[in-house]
Amino acid sequence: TRPAQHKSGLLYSPECNRVSYKFSPVKSLFWSGEKGFHLLFLLSCVSEEVDYSSYGTHSLTRKKKAVVALRNDVNRKRPHIRIGMPQDFRPVSSIIDVDILPESHRRVRLYRHGSDKPLGFYIRDGTSVRVTPHGLEKVPGIFISRMVPGGLAESTGLLAVNDEVLEVNGIEVTGKTLDQVTDMMIANSHNLIVTVKPVNQRNNVVRASRISGSSGQSSDSSGSTGYPSLSTTAMATGADELESDEESDIVIESTPPPAPVEHPSPPTRPLSPSLNGLSHHGTLRESNDSLHKILSTMRTDPRHSLALPRGGVEEDGTVITL
C-alpha cells in the first residue's frame, strides 16, 4: 500500500480548482489543493490503457462523497453523448473520508460493481488495546484474519490481515458479535465501507493541518470513533432510501393467458419472460425458463445493473461530475 514512486500524469479540475497528480496506472495519488490537503489513494484494477479522468471532490458538509470515476474504454466509442448520468463511469474501491478521520484510521470502500472478484477476506474476534486515562485497556475487537489471494481486498491492497474493523458502513461494531459484524458486512456487500485501524501504521497519510501537532503515529485514545460519521447517503440507513437504491431487484412479469382457460396448460410450462428493462439486452433466450439461468447470464455481464429497471445507474451516494 505504498504510494507509487513515479509520476505519470497531472490532471486539473476547473470546477474544483484542484490539481491531481497522477502516479502509476495502478495506483494513483490525488491531492486536493484547496481546502486542506487530502490524500487519496486510488487503486484500480483496470488495464493500463485506461484513460483516467478522475476527480476528487471534497466538501466539508459531506453531502456528497468523494468519488472517483473511471471511464471504461470499452464503451468509449459511443455514438452519442448522453446528458445526465454517464453510464461509462463507475466507482472503484478507494479510501474515503481521509479528511475527517483520525490519521490512524482508514475508511475503505470496497466496490465490486460487476467484478467477478470475491470481496475476499475473513474476519475474526480479537483483543484490541485502547489508551484510557487509567492506562492500557484490553477490549474485544473484530480483526481481519485472512485474505483470499486475488480477491478484491487483497488485490486493491486497501485492507490487510490484522487490521481492526471499527465500523461497517458508518455503524460502529463495538459490542457486536463476530456473527453480527459478518451479517452486517454481507448485507452491505454491494457497497461495503469498512473503517479500519490498520495494523501497519507506517503508511498513514499525514495531513498538513496536523503535521505540526502529531506525528504519523497517532494513537486512538478514545474507545469510540469520535469523528463525524459517514454521510447519510453512504450509510446503511434503515428507512426508505429508495432514490439511491443500488440493489434493484429483478422482476419478471408474464401475462397469464386470457380467461377462461380451455386447456389448462401444464403448471410447469416455461415462462416466456418479458424482463423489465432487460428485454433489449438480447442475451436472453427463449429457453431461459428459470431465473437462475437468467441471473447467471446477467452476472457475467459487468454492466448488468445499467440495464436494470430502476435506479440501476444511481450508485449509492455517488455523484459524478463532468
Partner 1 sequence: MKRFRRHGQESQRERIKQELYGFNKTVEHGFPHQPSALGFSPSLQLLAIGTRSGAIKLYGGPGVEFMGLHDENAAVTQVHFLPHQVELVTLLDDNSLHMWTLRAHHGVSELLEIGRFTLTGPPGAPPSVTCVTAVLAHSSGDLLLLGTEGGHVFVVKVPGFRELEERNISLEKVTNSVPEEYGGRRILEHVESLQENPVNQRQVLIGYGRGLMVIWDLDSQSAIKHIPATQQLESVWWTEDGGHVLSSHSDGSYCRWKVAGDDPQSEQEKSEVPYGHFPCKAISKIIQLPTEQGPPFLFLSGGMPRASYGDRHCISVIHSKTHVALDFTSRIIDFFVIRDGPGHTGEPSALVVLVEEELVVIDLQTEGWPVIQTPYLVPLHCSAITCSHHVSAIPLKLWERVLSAGALQNTHYSKKPWPMTGGQNLAPDPPQRDLLLTGHEDGTVRFWDASGVCLYPMYKLSTAGVFLTDSDPNDNLNQGTEGEWPPFRKVGCFDPYSDDPRLGIQKIHLCKYSGYLTVAGTAGQILVLELNDEAAEQTVEATVADLLQGQEGFRWKGHTRLEVREEPVTFPPGFQPFALVQCQPPAVVTALTLHSEWKLVTFGTSHGFGLYDYQQKNNVLVRCTLNPSDQLAMEGPLSRVKSIKKSLRQSFRRIRRSRVSLRKHHVNNAAKLQQANARLEAELAEMELAPVQRKIEPRSPDDSFTGLVRTLYFADTFLSDSSHNTPSLWAGTNGGSVFAYQLRLPPVECRGEDPVTAHPAKEIQLMHRAPVVGILVLDGHGSPLPEPLEVAHDLARSPDMQGSHSLLVISEEQFKVFTLPKVSAKMKLKLTAIDGSRVRRVGVAWFGSNRTDDYGESGLTVLTNQGDLHVVSLPGVKLQVQYPCIRREDVSGIASCVFTKHGQGFYLISPSEFERFSLSARCVVEPRSLVEVPSQTPSATLPRALPDGASVERRNSTRDGVAVLQEIQKSLEVDQTTFLENGTSALARGKVLSNGD
Q: Which is nearer to partner 1, 8 or 177 (CB)?
A: 177
Per-residue interface string for the shown chain with partner 1, residues 179-198, x marking contact by CB under 8 A: xxxxxxxxxxxx-x------
Options 122, 160, 203, 210; binder of partner 1; rule CB under 8 A: 122
Q: Which is nearer to partner 1, 37 or 122 (CB)?
A: 122
The answer to the question of residue 303 lying near partner 1 (CB under 8 A) is: no
Run of H or E residues at 50: none
Options 74, 199, 242, 322; binder of partner 1; rule CB under 8 A: 242
Residue with the three cell numbers 471532490: 57
The answer to the question of residue 177 lying near partner 1 (CB under 8 A) is: yes
Footprint of partner 1 on 98-117 (CB under 8 A): 112
Contact residues for 147 (Cβ-Cβ < 8 A; gap 6+): 120, 121, 122, 153, 154, 159, 160, 161
Closest contact distance (angstroms) between CB of 283 and partner 1 is 16
SS3 143: strand
Part of the chain binding partner 1 (CB under 8 A), chosen from 3-11, 13-21, 65-73, 163-171: 163-171
Residue with the three cell numbers 483470499: 148
Part of the chain binding partner 1 (CB under 8 A), chosen from 1-9, 73-81, 88-96, 235-243: 235-243
Q: Which is nearer to partner 1, 69 or 144 (CB)?
A: 144
Part of the chain binding partner 1 (CB under 8 A), chosen from 72-80, 99-107, 217-225, 243-251: 243-251
Closest contact distance (angstroms) between CB of 198 and partner 1 is 17
The beta-strand segments (E) located in 79-198 are 89-91, 94-96, 106-110, 121-132, 135-147, 164-168, 171-172, 192-197
How far are the Cα atoms of 94, 226, 260 from residue 233, in angstroms, in the given order? 17, 20, 49
The answer to the question of residue 157 lying near partner 1 (CB under 8 A) is: no
- Sign of the torsion formed by the C-alpha atoms of 183, 188, 190 and 195: negative
What count of Cα atoms within 13 Å lies in the side-chain half-sphere of residue 318?
Answer: 28
How far are the Cα atoms of 20, 97, 102 from residue 170, in angstroms, in the given order? 27, 11, 15
The CA-CA-CA angle for residues 289, 306, 51, to 5°, reads 135
Burial of 122 per CB tally in 10 Å (0-12, 13-18, 19+)? middle
The answer to the question of residue 73 lying near partner 1 (CB under 8 A) is: no
Q: Which is nearer to partner 1, 159 or 205 (CB)?
A: 159
Chain mean position to CA 115: 12
The answer to the question of residue 241 lying near partner 1 (CB under 8 A) is: yes
Q: Which is nearer to partner 1, 49 or 249 (CB)?
A: 249
All three cell numbers of 307: 440495464
- Applying CB under 8 A, the residues found at the interface with partner 1 are 112, 118-125, 145-146, 168-169, 171, 176-190, 192, 236-242, 245, 247-257, 259-261, 264-265, 267-269, 271, 273, 291-292, 295-296, 299, 309-310
